[in-house]
Chain A
Amino acid sequence: MSSLPAGFWNRILFLLQNYGFSLLKGAGTSLLIAFVGTLIGCVIGFIVGIIQTIPVQKSDSFAKRALLKAVNLILAVYVEVFRGTPMMVQAMFIFYGIAYLLHYVMGMWFAAFFIVSINTGAYMAETVRGGILSIDAGQTEGAKAIGMNHLQTMLYVILPQALRNIMPQIGNNLIINIKDSCVLSVICVVELFFASKSISGTYYIFFEVFTLAMAMYLIMTVFFSRLLRWFEKKMDGADSYDLATTDTLAHTSGMLNYPGKRG
Protein backbone atom coordinates (compact mmCIF):
# COMPACT_ATOMS: atom_id res chain seq x y z
CA MET A 1 0.00 0.00 0.00
CA SER A 2 1.83 3.10 -1.25
CA SER A 3 1.48 6.38 0.62
CA LEU A 4 -1.19 8.90 -0.28
CA PRO A 5 -0.12 12.28 -1.73
CA ALA A 6 -1.80 15.54 -0.72
CA GLY A 7 -4.02 17.72 -2.94
CA PHE A 8 -7.09 16.85 -5.02
CA TRP A 9 -5.45 16.44 -8.44
CA ASN A 10 -2.46 14.56 -7.04
CA ARG A 11 -4.81 12.14 -5.37
CA ILE A 12 -6.83 11.69 -8.55
CA LEU A 13 -3.61 10.93 -10.40
CA PHE A 14 -2.52 8.55 -7.66
CA LEU A 15 -5.84 6.72 -7.80
CA LEU A 16 -5.71 6.44 -11.55
CA GLN A 17 -2.17 5.08 -11.46
CA ASN A 18 -2.75 2.56 -8.71
CA TYR A 19 -6.42 1.73 -8.96
CA GLY A 20 -7.32 2.75 -12.50
CA PHE A 21 -7.46 -0.86 -13.54
CA SER A 22 -9.74 -2.01 -10.75
CA LEU A 23 -12.06 0.96 -11.37
CA LEU A 24 -12.13 0.12 -15.07
CA LYS A 25 -12.77 -3.49 -14.26
CA GLY A 26 -15.65 -2.42 -12.02
CA ALA A 27 -17.03 -0.24 -14.80
CA GLY A 28 -16.70 -3.14 -17.24
CA THR A 29 -18.60 -5.36 -14.83
CA SER A 30 -21.35 -2.75 -14.52
CA LEU A 31 -21.58 -2.51 -18.29
CA LEU A 32 -21.61 -6.24 -18.83
CA ILE A 33 -24.36 -6.71 -16.24
CA ALA A 34 -26.35 -3.87 -17.78
CA PHE A 35 -25.95 -5.27 -21.30
CA VAL A 36 -26.76 -8.88 -20.55
CA GLY A 37 -29.54 -7.86 -18.16
CA THR A 38 -31.13 -5.53 -20.69
CA LEU A 39 -30.82 -8.06 -23.50
CA ILE A 40 -32.32 -10.98 -21.58
CA GLY A 41 -34.80 -8.56 -20.01
CA CYS A 42 -35.95 -7.54 -23.48
CA VAL A 43 -36.37 -11.17 -24.50
CA ILE A 44 -38.43 -11.81 -21.38
CA GLY A 45 -40.37 -8.60 -21.98
CA PHE A 46 -41.14 -9.55 -25.56
CA ILE A 47 -42.28 -13.04 -24.62
CA VAL A 48 -44.51 -11.74 -21.82
CA GLY A 49 -45.81 -8.82 -23.91
CA ILE A 50 -46.60 -11.10 -26.85
CA ILE A 51 -48.43 -13.62 -24.69
CA GLN A 52 -50.41 -10.83 -23.04
CA THR A 53 -51.58 -9.52 -26.42
CA ILE A 54 -52.69 -12.85 -27.93
CA PRO A 55 -56.26 -12.16 -29.03
CA VAL A 56 -58.87 -14.39 -27.43
CA GLN A 57 -61.82 -15.25 -29.61
CA LYS A 58 -65.19 -16.51 -28.54
CA SER A 59 -64.70 -19.36 -30.98
CA ASP A 60 -61.56 -20.60 -29.20
CA SER A 61 -61.83 -23.79 -27.21
CA PHE A 62 -62.41 -23.63 -23.46
CA ALA A 63 -59.03 -25.24 -22.75
CA LYS A 64 -57.18 -22.62 -24.76
CA ARG A 65 -59.01 -19.77 -23.10
CA ALA A 66 -58.48 -21.21 -19.60
CA LEU A 67 -54.79 -21.79 -20.25
CA LEU A 68 -54.32 -18.26 -21.56
CA LYS A 69 -56.14 -16.84 -18.58
CA ALA A 70 -53.98 -18.78 -16.11
CA VAL A 71 -50.75 -17.83 -17.87
CA ASN A 72 -51.80 -14.19 -18.05
CA LEU A 73 -52.56 -14.16 -14.34
CA ILE A 74 -49.12 -15.53 -13.49
CA LEU A 75 -47.49 -12.98 -15.80
CA ALA A 76 -49.48 -10.13 -14.27
CA VAL A 77 -48.29 -11.19 -10.78
CA TYR A 78 -44.69 -11.37 -12.03
CA VAL A 79 -44.88 -7.87 -13.51
CA GLU A 80 -46.48 -6.37 -10.40
CA VAL A 81 -44.04 -7.99 -7.96
CA PHE A 82 -40.89 -6.98 -9.79
CA ARG A 83 -42.06 -3.49 -10.70
CA GLY A 84 -43.44 -2.90 -7.26
CA THR A 85 -40.34 -3.69 -5.17
CA PRO A 86 -36.82 -2.18 -5.17
CA MET A 87 -34.19 -4.11 -7.08
CA MET A 88 -31.88 -3.94 -4.06
CA VAL A 89 -34.43 -5.73 -1.91
CA GLN A 90 -35.08 -8.24 -4.72
CA ALA A 91 -31.35 -8.96 -4.86
CA MET A 92 -31.20 -9.74 -1.14
CA PHE A 93 -34.44 -11.69 -1.21
CA ILE A 94 -33.47 -13.87 -4.16
CA PHE A 95 -29.81 -14.36 -3.27
CA TYR A 96 -30.35 -15.24 0.39
CA GLY A 97 -33.71 -16.85 -0.26
CA ILE A 98 -32.23 -19.36 -2.66
CA ALA A 99 -29.25 -19.96 -0.37
CA TYR A 100 -31.63 -20.62 2.53
CA LEU A 101 -34.26 -22.68 0.76
CA LEU A 102 -32.18 -24.60 -1.77
CA HIS A 103 -28.83 -24.55 0.04
CA TYR A 104 -27.32 -23.19 -3.13
CA VAL A 105 -25.15 -20.09 -3.28
CA MET A 106 -25.41 -18.40 -6.64
CA GLY A 107 -22.23 -17.28 -8.35
CA MET A 108 -21.72 -13.54 -8.59
CA TRP A 109 -22.27 -13.34 -12.35
CA PHE A 110 -25.26 -15.60 -12.40
CA ALA A 111 -26.92 -13.75 -9.53
CA ALA A 112 -26.27 -10.38 -11.16
CA PHE A 113 -27.56 -11.39 -14.59
CA PHE A 114 -30.55 -13.15 -13.12
CA ILE A 115 -31.71 -10.27 -10.95
CA VAL A 116 -31.20 -7.52 -13.52
CA SER A 117 -32.81 -9.57 -16.31
CA ILE A 118 -35.88 -10.50 -14.38
CA ASN A 119 -36.30 -6.93 -13.15
CA THR A 120 -35.87 -5.42 -16.61
CA GLY A 121 -38.20 -8.06 -18.04
CA ALA A 122 -41.00 -6.86 -15.78
CA TYR A 123 -40.60 -3.29 -17.01
CA MET A 124 -40.15 -4.29 -20.63
CA ALA A 125 -43.28 -6.47 -20.58
CA GLU A 126 -45.44 -3.40 -20.10
CA THR A 127 -43.46 -1.44 -22.65
CA VAL A 128 -43.73 -4.18 -25.26
CA ARG A 129 -47.44 -4.61 -24.59
CA GLY A 130 -47.95 -0.89 -25.08
CA GLY A 131 -45.73 -0.96 -28.17
CA ILE A 132 -47.78 -3.73 -29.76
CA LEU A 133 -51.11 -2.09 -28.91
CA SER A 134 -49.91 1.22 -30.34
CA ILE A 135 -49.50 -0.21 -33.84
CA ASP A 136 -52.41 0.83 -36.04
CA ALA A 137 -54.99 -1.93 -36.50
CA GLY A 138 -54.74 -1.31 -40.25
CA GLN A 139 -51.30 -2.95 -40.23
CA THR A 140 -52.80 -6.17 -38.87
CA GLU A 141 -55.64 -6.01 -41.36
CA GLY A 142 -53.25 -5.43 -44.24
CA ALA A 143 -51.31 -8.51 -43.18
CA LYS A 144 -54.38 -10.67 -42.66
CA ALA A 145 -55.80 -9.59 -46.01
CA ILE A 146 -52.85 -11.17 -47.83
CA GLY A 147 -53.28 -14.36 -45.85
CA MET A 148 -50.73 -14.03 -43.06
CA ASN A 149 -51.56 -15.89 -39.85
CA HIS A 150 -51.21 -14.40 -36.37
CA LEU A 151 -47.60 -15.51 -35.92
CA GLN A 152 -46.49 -14.20 -39.33
CA THR A 153 -48.31 -10.92 -38.79
CA MET A 154 -46.54 -10.49 -35.46
CA LEU A 155 -43.13 -11.54 -36.72
CA TYR A 156 -42.94 -9.60 -39.96
CA VAL A 157 -45.22 -6.62 -39.44
CA ILE A 158 -46.15 -5.79 -35.86
CA LEU A 159 -43.05 -6.64 -33.82
CA PRO A 160 -40.53 -4.84 -36.05
CA GLN A 161 -42.63 -1.69 -35.76
CA ALA A 162 -43.20 -2.16 -32.05
CA LEU A 163 -39.46 -2.71 -31.57
CA ARG A 164 -38.69 0.51 -33.40
CA ASN A 165 -41.24 2.42 -31.34
CA ILE A 166 -39.92 1.15 -28.03
CA MET A 167 -36.22 1.59 -28.87
CA PRO A 168 -36.09 4.77 -26.74
CA GLN A 169 -37.48 2.77 -23.83
CA ILE A 170 -34.95 -0.01 -24.35
CA GLY A 171 -32.19 2.59 -24.38
CA ASN A 172 -33.60 4.09 -21.24
CA ASN A 173 -33.55 0.69 -19.56
CA LEU A 174 -29.93 0.16 -20.55
CA ILE A 175 -28.97 3.50 -19.02
CA ILE A 176 -30.92 2.71 -15.86
CA ASN A 177 -29.26 -0.69 -15.65
CA ILE A 178 -25.76 0.76 -16.03
CA LYS A 179 -26.49 2.92 -13.01
CA ASP A 180 -28.65 0.58 -10.99
CA SER A 181 -26.28 -2.38 -11.25
CA CYS A 182 -24.68 -0.62 -8.24
CA VAL A 183 -27.41 -2.00 -5.97
CA LEU A 184 -25.93 -5.44 -6.58
CA SER A 185 -23.05 -4.41 -4.32
CA VAL A 186 -25.32 -5.57 -1.48
CA ILE A 187 -24.72 -9.14 -2.64
CA CYS A 188 -21.02 -8.42 -3.18
CA VAL A 189 -20.98 -8.08 -6.94
CA VAL A 190 -17.75 -6.19 -7.66
CA GLU A 191 -19.05 -3.54 -10.04
CA LEU A 192 -17.98 0.11 -10.24
CA PHE A 193 -19.67 1.23 -7.02
CA PHE A 194 -18.36 -1.72 -5.01
CA ALA A 195 -14.84 -1.16 -6.36
CA SER A 196 -15.02 2.56 -5.52
CA LYS A 197 -16.26 1.83 -2.03
CA SER A 198 -13.41 -0.59 -1.30
CA ILE A 199 -10.79 1.87 -2.52
CA SER A 200 -12.25 4.78 -0.57
CA GLY A 201 -12.45 2.55 2.48
CA THR A 202 -8.78 1.69 2.23
CA TYR A 203 -7.59 5.32 2.20
CA TYR A 204 -10.53 7.14 3.77
CA ILE A 205 -10.71 9.47 0.79
CA PHE A 206 -14.26 9.63 -0.50
CA PHE A 207 -14.56 12.78 -2.57
CA GLU A 208 -11.73 11.93 -4.96
CA VAL A 209 -12.76 8.32 -5.47
CA PHE A 210 -16.38 9.14 -6.07
CA THR A 211 -15.47 12.00 -8.39
CA LEU A 212 -13.87 9.34 -10.54
CA ALA A 213 -16.85 7.02 -10.13
CA MET A 214 -19.25 9.81 -11.12
CA ALA A 215 -17.19 10.60 -14.19
CA MET A 216 -17.04 6.97 -15.24
CA TYR A 217 -20.78 6.41 -14.85
CA LEU A 218 -21.48 9.59 -16.77
CA ILE A 219 -19.15 8.71 -19.62
CA MET A 220 -20.79 5.29 -19.97
CA THR A 221 -24.36 6.57 -19.90
CA VAL A 222 -23.78 9.51 -22.23
CA PHE A 223 -21.86 7.35 -24.68
CA PHE A 224 -24.53 4.68 -24.82
CA SER A 225 -27.47 7.05 -25.03
CA ARG A 226 -25.79 8.73 -28.02
CA LEU A 227 -25.01 5.37 -29.60
CA LEU A 228 -28.62 4.26 -29.24
CA ARG A 229 -29.91 7.51 -30.71
CA TRP A 230 -27.69 6.90 -33.72
CA PHE A 231 -28.92 3.32 -33.96
CA GLU A 232 -32.56 4.47 -33.92
CA LYS A 233 -31.86 6.79 -36.81
CA LYS A 234 -30.31 3.93 -38.70
CA MET A 235 -33.38 1.77 -38.11
CA ASP A 236 -35.55 4.43 -39.76
CA GLY A 237 -33.69 3.98 -43.03
CA ALA A 238 -32.57 6.74 -45.35
CA ASP A 239 -34.47 10.01 -45.47
CA SER A 240 -34.58 9.85 -49.23
CA TYR A 241 -34.78 7.01 -51.70
CA ASP A 242 -33.29 6.31 -55.10
CA LEU A 243 -35.56 5.87 -58.06
CA ALA A 244 -34.87 2.44 -59.45
CA THR A 245 -35.22 3.26 -63.13
CA THR A 246 -35.62 6.27 -65.35
CA ASP A 247 -38.82 5.02 -66.87
CA THR A 248 -40.47 8.35 -67.64
CA LEU A 249 -43.79 6.78 -68.46
CA ALA A 250 -44.04 5.44 -64.95
CA HIS A 251 -43.37 8.89 -63.52
CA THR A 252 -46.10 10.61 -65.41
CA SER A 253 -48.70 7.89 -65.19
CA GLY A 254 -49.81 9.40 -61.92
CA MET A 255 -50.60 12.71 -63.52
CA LEU A 256 -53.32 11.55 -65.89
CA ASN A 257 -56.87 11.99 -64.81
CA TYR A 258 -59.44 9.31 -65.10
CA PRO A 259 -61.15 10.41 -68.33
CA GLY A 260 -64.67 9.55 -67.25
CA LYS A 261 -64.44 11.56 -64.06
CA ARG A 262 -66.37 14.78 -63.92
CA GLY A 263 -65.81 17.86 -61.87
Chain B
Amino acid sequence: MDNNETILAVNHLSKRFGENTVLRDINCRVSTGDVICVIGASGSGKSTMLRCINLLETPTGGEILFHGTDILSGGLSLSAYRAKVGMVFQSFNLFSNMNVLDNCMVGMRRVLKLDKGTAKEKALFYLSKVGMSPYINARPRQLSGGQKQRVAIARALAMEPEILLFDEPTSALDPQMVGEVLNVMKALADDGMTMLIVTHEMAFARDVARHVIYMDKGVVCEEGPPEQIFVSPKKQETKDFLSRFIRG
Protein backbone atom coordinates (compact mmCIF):
# COMPACT_ATOMS: atom_id res chain seq x y z
CA MET B 1 0.00 0.00 0.00
CA ASP B 2 1.09 3.58 -0.52
CA ASN B 3 1.78 6.24 2.03
CA ASN B 4 -1.40 8.25 1.57
CA GLU B 5 -3.44 9.28 4.55
CA THR B 6 -5.25 6.43 6.30
CA ILE B 7 -9.00 6.93 6.12
CA LEU B 8 -10.15 3.77 7.78
CA ALA B 9 -8.37 1.38 10.09
CA VAL B 10 -10.03 -1.83 11.19
CA ASN B 11 -8.29 -3.44 14.15
CA HIS B 12 -8.98 -6.92 15.53
CA LEU B 13 -12.58 -6.78 14.35
CA SER B 14 -14.72 -9.73 15.33
CA LYS B 15 -18.38 -10.58 14.91
CA ARG B 16 -20.50 -13.30 16.46
CA PHE B 17 -24.10 -14.18 15.65
CA GLY B 18 -25.10 -15.98 18.83
CA GLU B 19 -22.67 -18.87 19.13
CA ASN B 20 -21.54 -18.57 15.54
CA THR B 21 -18.30 -16.61 15.15
CA VAL B 22 -18.36 -15.20 11.65
CA LEU B 23 -15.38 -12.83 11.78
CA ARG B 24 -12.19 -13.24 13.79
CA ASP B 25 -9.40 -10.73 14.27
CA ILE B 26 -9.88 -8.85 11.00
CA ASN B 27 -7.32 -6.10 10.35
CA CYS B 28 -7.50 -3.81 7.41
CA ARG B 29 -6.31 -0.35 6.50
CA VAL B 30 -7.77 1.82 3.77
CA SER B 31 -5.90 4.91 2.58
CA THR B 32 -6.84 7.62 0.11
CA GLY B 33 -7.01 6.27 -3.42
CA ASP B 34 -6.81 2.62 -2.43
CA VAL B 35 -8.76 0.08 -4.41
CA ILE B 36 -8.99 -3.04 -2.30
CA CYS B 37 -10.77 -6.16 -3.48
CA VAL B 38 -11.99 -8.79 -1.04
CA ILE B 39 -12.42 -12.29 -2.41
CA GLY B 40 -13.34 -15.56 -0.78
CA ALA B 41 -15.76 -18.45 -0.75
CA SER B 42 -19.43 -18.01 -0.02
CA GLY B 43 -20.02 -17.77 3.71
CA SER B 44 -16.49 -16.67 4.50
CA GLY B 45 -17.77 -13.42 6.03
CA LYS B 46 -17.06 -10.88 3.30
CA SER B 47 -20.49 -9.24 3.47
CA THR B 48 -20.47 -9.29 7.24
CA MET B 49 -17.14 -7.47 7.23
CA LEU B 50 -18.47 -4.68 4.99
CA ARG B 51 -21.69 -4.47 6.99
CA CYS B 52 -19.69 -4.15 10.19
CA ILE B 53 -17.59 -1.40 8.65
CA ASN B 54 -20.59 0.80 7.98
CA LEU B 55 -22.33 -0.42 11.12
CA LEU B 56 -25.28 -2.15 9.52
CA GLU B 57 -24.10 -4.88 11.89
CA THR B 58 -22.65 -4.11 15.30
CA PRO B 59 -19.22 -5.70 15.69
CA THR B 60 -18.77 -7.78 18.81
CA GLY B 61 -15.10 -6.92 19.22
CA GLY B 62 -12.27 -4.78 17.92
CA GLU B 63 -12.25 -1.19 16.79
CA ILE B 64 -12.93 0.80 13.65
CA LEU B 65 -11.04 4.05 13.36
CA PHE B 66 -12.19 6.68 10.90
CA HIS B 67 -9.39 9.23 10.60
CA GLY B 68 -8.27 8.00 13.99
CA THR B 69 -11.66 8.43 15.67
CA ASP B 70 -13.13 5.26 17.12
CA ILE B 71 -16.64 5.08 15.72
CA LEU B 72 -17.77 2.16 17.88
CA SER B 73 -17.45 4.20 21.06
CA GLY B 74 -19.59 6.92 19.53
CA GLY B 75 -16.81 9.33 18.65
CA LEU B 76 -18.76 10.27 15.53
CA SER B 77 -22.49 10.33 14.92
CA LEU B 78 -23.80 7.37 12.96
CA SER B 79 -25.35 9.58 10.28
CA ALA B 80 -22.23 11.66 9.78
CA TYR B 81 -20.07 8.55 9.55
CA ARG B 82 -22.33 6.74 7.11
CA ALA B 83 -22.57 9.83 4.94
CA LYS B 84 -18.80 9.61 4.57
CA VAL B 85 -18.69 5.87 3.97
CA GLY B 86 -20.90 4.97 1.01
CA MET B 87 -22.24 1.51 0.34
CA VAL B 88 -23.41 -0.23 -2.82
CA PHE B 89 -25.42 -3.41 -2.32
CA GLN B 90 -25.79 -6.56 -4.34
CA SER B 91 -29.56 -6.02 -4.44
CA PHE B 92 -29.29 -2.27 -5.32
CA ASN B 93 -31.73 -1.18 -2.58
CA LEU B 94 -32.92 1.81 -4.58
CA PHE B 95 -35.93 3.51 -3.02
CA SER B 96 -38.86 2.19 -5.01
CA ASN B 97 -41.11 5.14 -4.14
CA MET B 98 -38.80 7.63 -5.84
CA ASN B 99 -37.59 8.21 -9.36
CA VAL B 100 -33.91 8.07 -10.26
CA LEU B 101 -33.27 11.74 -9.58
CA ASP B 102 -34.95 11.72 -6.17
CA ASN B 103 -33.07 8.56 -5.23
CA CYS B 104 -29.85 10.49 -5.73
CA MET B 105 -31.09 13.71 -4.15
CA VAL B 106 -32.79 12.55 -0.97
CA GLY B 107 -29.56 11.88 0.95
CA MET B 108 -28.04 15.21 -0.02
CA ARG B 109 -31.25 17.05 0.89
CA ARG B 110 -32.10 15.31 4.17
CA VAL B 111 -28.74 14.21 5.55
CA LEU B 112 -26.32 16.78 4.15
CA LYS B 113 -29.06 19.46 4.16
CA LEU B 114 -28.04 20.82 0.76
CA ASP B 115 -30.46 23.12 -0.99
CA LYS B 116 -32.52 21.75 -3.84
CA GLY B 117 -30.60 23.41 -6.64
CA THR B 118 -27.19 22.23 -5.47
CA ALA B 119 -28.48 18.73 -4.79
CA LYS B 120 -30.01 18.48 -8.24
CA GLU B 121 -26.88 19.76 -9.91
CA LYS B 122 -24.72 17.22 -8.11
CA ALA B 123 -27.17 14.38 -8.71
CA LEU B 124 -27.15 15.13 -12.44
CA PHE B 125 -23.36 15.30 -12.43
CA TYR B 126 -22.96 11.88 -10.83
CA LEU B 127 -25.76 10.35 -12.86
CA SER B 128 -24.05 11.41 -16.05
CA LYS B 129 -20.85 9.92 -14.69
CA VAL B 130 -22.52 6.51 -14.61
CA GLY B 131 -24.33 7.11 -17.89
CA MET B 132 -27.77 7.34 -16.32
CA SER B 133 -28.64 11.01 -16.68
CA PRO B 134 -31.26 10.38 -19.40
CA TYR B 135 -33.21 8.22 -16.97
CA ILE B 136 -33.82 10.73 -14.17
CA ASN B 137 -37.60 10.38 -14.48
CA ALA B 138 -37.67 6.58 -14.41
CA ARG B 139 -38.73 4.57 -11.40
CA PRO B 140 -36.39 1.77 -10.26
CA ARG B 141 -38.87 -0.91 -11.40
CA GLN B 142 -38.59 0.44 -14.94
CA LEU B 143 -34.83 -0.11 -15.14
CA SER B 144 -32.67 -3.12 -15.92
CA GLY B 145 -30.44 -4.56 -13.20
CA GLY B 146 -27.32 -2.94 -14.59
CA GLN B 147 -29.04 0.42 -14.82
CA LYS B 148 -30.31 0.10 -11.25
CA GLN B 149 -26.83 -0.66 -9.99
CA ARG B 150 -25.39 2.33 -11.84
CA VAL B 151 -28.02 4.56 -10.23
CA ALA B 152 -27.17 3.05 -6.85
CA ILE B 153 -23.53 3.93 -7.47
CA ALA B 154 -24.51 7.48 -8.42
CA ARG B 155 -26.64 7.73 -5.28
CA ALA B 156 -23.65 6.71 -3.16
CA LEU B 157 -21.27 9.02 -5.06
CA ALA B 158 -23.63 11.97 -4.70
CA MET B 159 -22.99 11.96 -0.96
CA GLU B 160 -19.35 12.56 -1.89
CA PRO B 161 -18.09 9.92 0.51
CA GLU B 162 -14.44 9.48 1.31
CA ILE B 163 -14.68 5.77 0.71
CA LEU B 164 -17.10 3.56 -1.13
CA LEU B 165 -17.92 -0.01 -0.09
CA PHE B 166 -19.24 -2.46 -2.68
CA ASP B 167 -20.82 -5.78 -1.71
CA GLU B 168 -20.83 -8.00 -4.79
CA PRO B 169 -22.27 -5.25 -6.97
CA THR B 170 -22.57 -7.49 -10.03
CA SER B 171 -23.67 -10.78 -8.48
CA ALA B 172 -27.39 -10.14 -9.00
CA LEU B 173 -26.94 -9.14 -12.63
CA ASP B 174 -27.42 -10.99 -15.88
CA PRO B 175 -24.04 -11.66 -17.51
CA GLN B 176 -24.54 -9.09 -20.25
CA MET B 177 -25.05 -6.34 -17.66
CA VAL B 178 -22.03 -7.11 -15.53
CA GLY B 179 -19.70 -5.26 -17.90
CA GLU B 180 -21.51 -1.93 -17.74
CA VAL B 181 -21.25 -1.84 -13.95
CA LEU B 182 -17.62 -2.96 -13.88
CA ASN B 183 -16.80 -0.26 -16.44
CA VAL B 184 -18.25 2.38 -14.17
CA MET B 185 -16.27 1.03 -11.23
CA LYS B 186 -13.07 0.92 -13.27
CA ALA B 187 -13.59 4.55 -14.25
CA LEU B 188 -14.06 5.47 -10.59
CA ALA B 189 -10.84 3.66 -9.70
CA ASP B 190 -9.02 5.57 -12.44
CA ASP B 191 -10.44 8.80 -11.01
CA GLY B 192 -8.80 7.99 -7.69
CA MET B 193 -11.94 7.01 -5.76
CA THR B 194 -11.16 5.04 -2.62
CA MET B 195 -12.96 1.72 -2.78
CA LEU B 196 -13.32 -1.51 -0.83
CA ILE B 197 -14.91 -4.08 -3.09
CA VAL B 198 -16.22 -7.55 -2.33
CA THR B 199 -16.39 -9.36 -5.64
CA HIS B 200 -16.39 -12.68 -7.42
CA GLU B 201 -15.13 -11.04 -10.63
CA MET B 202 -11.54 -12.23 -10.52
CA ALA B 203 -10.49 -10.60 -13.80
CA PHE B 204 -11.74 -7.27 -12.49
CA ALA B 205 -10.01 -7.73 -9.14
CA ARG B 206 -6.76 -8.63 -10.88
CA ASP B 207 -6.85 -5.59 -13.17
CA VAL B 208 -8.25 -2.90 -10.93
CA ALA B 209 -7.29 -3.76 -7.37
CA ARG B 210 -4.14 -2.39 -5.83
CA HIS B 211 -4.50 -4.77 -2.93
CA VAL B 212 -6.37 -8.06 -2.63
CA ILE B 213 -7.65 -9.69 0.54
CA TYR B 214 -8.51 -13.37 0.47
CA MET B 215 -10.91 -14.33 3.25
CA ASP B 216 -11.52 -17.85 4.45
CA LYS B 217 -13.80 -18.97 7.30
CA GLY B 218 -13.97 -15.53 8.91
CA VAL B 219 -10.28 -14.64 8.87
CA VAL B 220 -8.01 -12.88 6.42
CA CYS B 221 -6.14 -15.85 5.04
CA GLU B 222 -3.82 -14.06 2.67
CA GLU B 223 -3.46 -10.52 1.38
CA GLY B 224 -1.16 -8.70 -0.96
CA PRO B 225 -0.88 -7.10 -4.37
CA PRO B 226 -2.94 -8.78 -7.12
CA GLU B 227 0.19 -10.21 -8.76
CA GLN B 228 0.92 -12.13 -5.59
CA ILE B 229 -2.60 -13.39 -4.95
CA PHE B 230 -3.49 -14.31 -8.50
CA VAL B 231 -0.12 -15.40 -9.87
CA SER B 232 1.87 -16.81 -7.00
CA PRO B 233 -0.28 -17.17 -3.89
CA LYS B 234 1.64 -18.18 -0.80
CA LYS B 235 -1.09 -20.10 0.97
CA GLN B 236 -2.45 -23.45 -0.14
CA GLU B 237 -6.05 -22.30 0.67
CA THR B 238 -5.71 -19.38 -1.71
CA LYS B 239 -4.41 -21.66 -4.47
CA ASP B 240 -7.25 -24.10 -3.92
CA PHE B 241 -9.86 -21.34 -3.94
CA LEU B 242 -8.54 -19.78 -7.13
CA SER B 243 -8.16 -23.07 -8.97
CA ARG B 244 -11.70 -24.03 -7.96
CA PHE B 245 -12.82 -20.66 -9.17
CA ILE B 246 -11.13 -20.81 -12.50
CA ARG B 247 -12.36 -24.34 -13.14
CA GLY B 248 -15.79 -22.92 -12.24
> B134 contacts A245, CB within 8 Å?
yes
* B: interface residue count bin: 35 or more
CA distance A251 to B3 in the complex (A): 39
CA distance A171 to B119 in the complex (A): 36
Question: Which residues does chain B contribute within 8 Å of A141, judged by CB atoms?
Answer: 56, 89, 93
User: Does B14 count as interface, using CB distance less than 8 angstroms?
Assistant: no
User: Does B91 count as interface, using CB distance less than 8 angstroms?
Assistant: yes
Partner of A147, one of B95, B159, B203: B159
> B179 contacts A145, CB within 8 Å?
no
> B91 contacts A138, CB within 8 Å?
yes
User: Does B44 count as interface, using CB distance less than 8 angstroms?
Assistant: no
> B93 contacts A148, CB within 8 Å?
no
> A147 contacts B111, CB within 8 Å?
yes
Question: Which residues does chain B contribute within 8 Å of A240, judged by CB atoms?
Answer: 142
> A261 contacts B97, CB within 8 Å?
no
Question: Which residues does chain B contribute within 8 Å of A164, judged by CB atoms?
Answer: 97
CA distance A243 to B137 in the complex (A): 7
User: Does A152 count as interface, using CB distance less than 8 angstroms?
Assistant: yes
User: Does B7 count as interface, using CB distance less than 8 angstroms?
Assistant: no
Output the least CB separation between A150 and chain B (Å): 10
> A145 contacts B54, CB within 8 Å?
yes
Q: Is the interface of B mostly helix, strand, loop or mixed?
A: helix
Known contacts A237-B139, A258-B204, A260-B206: does B86 contact A146 (CB below 8 Å)? yes
Output the least CB separation between A240 and chain B (Å): 8
* A: interface residue count bin: 35 or more
CA distance A248 to B155 in the complex (A): 22
Output the least CB separation between B75 and chain A (Å): 16
User: Does A63 count as interface, using CB distance less than 8 angstroms?
Assistant: no
Q: Which of A243, A261, A262 gathers most chain B CB within 10 Å?
A: A261
Q: Which of B97, B106, B128 gathers most chain A CB within 10 Å?
A: B97
Question: Which residues does chain B contribute within 8 Å of A244, judged by CB atoms?
Answer: 133-137
CA distance A139 to B89 in the complex (A): 11
Partner of A161, one of B96, B107, B132: B96
Question: Which residues does chain A contribute within 8 Å of B150, judged by CB atoms?
Answer: 254
CA distance A251 to B180 in the complex (A): 11
Sampled A-B contacts (9; CB under 8 Å): A141-B93, A143-B95, A145-B56, A146-B83, A146-B111, A146-B156, A237-B139, A244-B135, A257-B179
- Known A143-B95, A256-B179, A260-B208; 10 more pairs at CB < 8 Å: A138-B89, A141-B93, A147-B78, A147-B81, A244-B135, A244-B136, A254-B150, A258-B186, A261-B179, A261-B204
Q: Which 7 A-B pairs have the closest CB atoms?
A: A142-B93, A253-B131, A257-B179, A146-B107, A147-B83, A258-B182, A145-B87
A-to-B contact residues, CB < 8 Å:
59, 138-139, 141-149, 152, 156-157, 160-161, 164, 237, 240-247, 249-251, 253-258, 260-262
